[in-house]
Structure 1
Amino acid sequence: MSWRPDVLGEKYEQTTLELEPDAQGEVVATLVRRTRSLWQRLAASVRPLSDVDVLYVHGWADYFFQTELAELWEQLGARFHALDLRKYGRSLREHQTPGFISDLATYDEDIDAALEVMGHAPDAGNGRRLIVMAHSTGGLTMSLWAHRHPGRVAALVLNSPWLEFQIGGVGREVLTPMLELGARISPLRSLPQVDFGFYTRTISNRFEGEWEIDPRWRPDQGAATHSAWLAAVFAGQRRVATGLSIDAPVLVLLSSRSTIQRTWSEQMRSSDIVLNVDEVAQRVPQLGSCVTLVRLDGALHDVLLSAKPVREKAKGEIHRWLGGYGRKPKSGDAD
């Protein structure tokens, strides 16, 4: 396994994960990790999550750039990794349709390849715990993955997971037959553009946000969506609606409100302008038997890209939740 410097600077490095080719040819995923000096490894050994590895998975038309998020986990002692899935970010190749997938379960290959490098193959037995954190469409993907792979994760942290369509389950079911037909006839047919660039305006430092974002990997108006891709998302959301049985504690972070409209509003700086958070919140109890929902006033779609006071509160909620569900098991604890 060969690691090389990453675009995020000297604290980060990446490795390419070779995957099975698909109809468009070569397919890869990319695993990014935060490096540690000897002193940092020693300091981490006495912190509460010293036995934890974290895997972060991004959302639609996105990639990993959130170094502040990595620092959050590192300060707790965890080893941080992030995965750019196939056809996204560092993994996107010129011959590929950005983000295109026709079945969310196809990402199992990307995830398994990343976990093997991290030492979390199914039979690894390395004595370390795995916490998965995922955002938006990545949150849907990893919820389904955790449901299908019991016993693999110690905890799951979901940042605005796309658990339900914006107009609700009834609207999703009405649209599904048309999408499935389109997926069979013309899977790569582009759907109407619904991203007007408002979200990028709120987060990118090229506009009015704080964050340095590469527009090659996160286009200002997202990426084109396609019939087969949205049909795959709907299938995943339908499965969530029937109820999952994730066997690990789950923390879900959501904004307290949504602002979804076709014209700019100042409210977009302090709300989720991508998802209908009330529809998502209704699905949260269906993830498993141990689920915590935290809704944050003023949060953006990516809660941890919100204004500093909001994201500091979000970090505090993560810390508090981990204080109960993320602590190291002690000898004598019940199995």
Structure 2
Amino acid sequence: MHFVQRKVRVDLANFDRFVAGTWGANYIQRRDLYKGKLLAKIGYAAAAWFLHDPTKTELEGGIRWGLTKVATHMLEQLQREILKSLTRARAFTPSIAMENEFHVLPILLKLHQLAMNHRCRQYGSADYKLLDEALEIKDPYRGCTQDRKEMAMHPYAHLRALAGLHVRTIREEEQHSLSEPAFAESWADPKKRGEWIKKFNFRVVFHHANIAYKLYLNLRMLSRQPMHPTHKADFGDHILQYYVGLKPAQTTMGIGLRTGNLPLKSNWQWCQMNGITDNRCPLCEKAVHTAEHLLCHCTALETERGFLRSAVGRLDWHSLVTKDLEITTAWAIAFFGIDQFKWCLDDKDFQFPRGRRVHISFRN
């Protein structure tokens, strides 16, 4: 685990040469780096070492004697480092919010998917039959055969049984849509069988990721924490559409707008770090200094807001941080007065008046 951490951190240090908050690779390219380089390195041979079932707890009959809590925490922390580096989200942004905005699965669920893909493909093979024989192993210290029930609790045995359940479910699902000869022919084809397995396992982990995200939202509401735009969106790839075609500075601003983590006075964590006790807008001093206030209500920015209104039409907070994110982020960079973006104010994309320069195929 420590070796993987070191290798990934070396890659992240190299990525800093062409990934930054206001310049460098765009959002989709960064996601491709994550999937093609970093995730491939973390998930290498996951079927052999990832002895963990994140879909169940031990009390629910889950895995025993698998990865320790320390090991799983290290994986989650590594995922957080990667997402923070690639998305350039500000400190204290929740990992689950970054996963939603970057549309990546939680690392434990993703590794579970990769490992189960391999186990399901190998299920029934000669190598897997060796695991059946391993359920009864001679104990050299006690000189007797270990109890079969005890060996059935071994993580490999648990995960093998889970793979068998997945394979049976896949077979039942696919048999409904095909005749018996057609199904037998398709199942015998490793490529076709692999496609069915990957599709099913992705559906399983995506379902559990959605459940985890809804649980996070419920806990956030119960604790009366602010609900930002990212907390009002379902977990899914539709969020990526908001960032298509945006410049790096705009994606950094977009993440801040949607997660509510910007250096504004409404951000209590930022205020604590900077010793700020007053949360009123420094421009109009009439309301709380929030992104929504600056975009839609601040009287000191009424003239500048005319540029935004002429570009997007009616000012609606939900639309501004979803389908209008391209023009919204450009306006915010130009007029929010955030020091991080002052070096890119001369860019023509942040000069107003201006219209849309990116047209996306928005999906609800």
Question: Structure 1 length as normaliser, TM-score?
Answer: 0.30
Higher relative contact order, structure no. (Cα contacts within 8 Å, ≥ 6 residues apart): 2
Higher strand share: 1
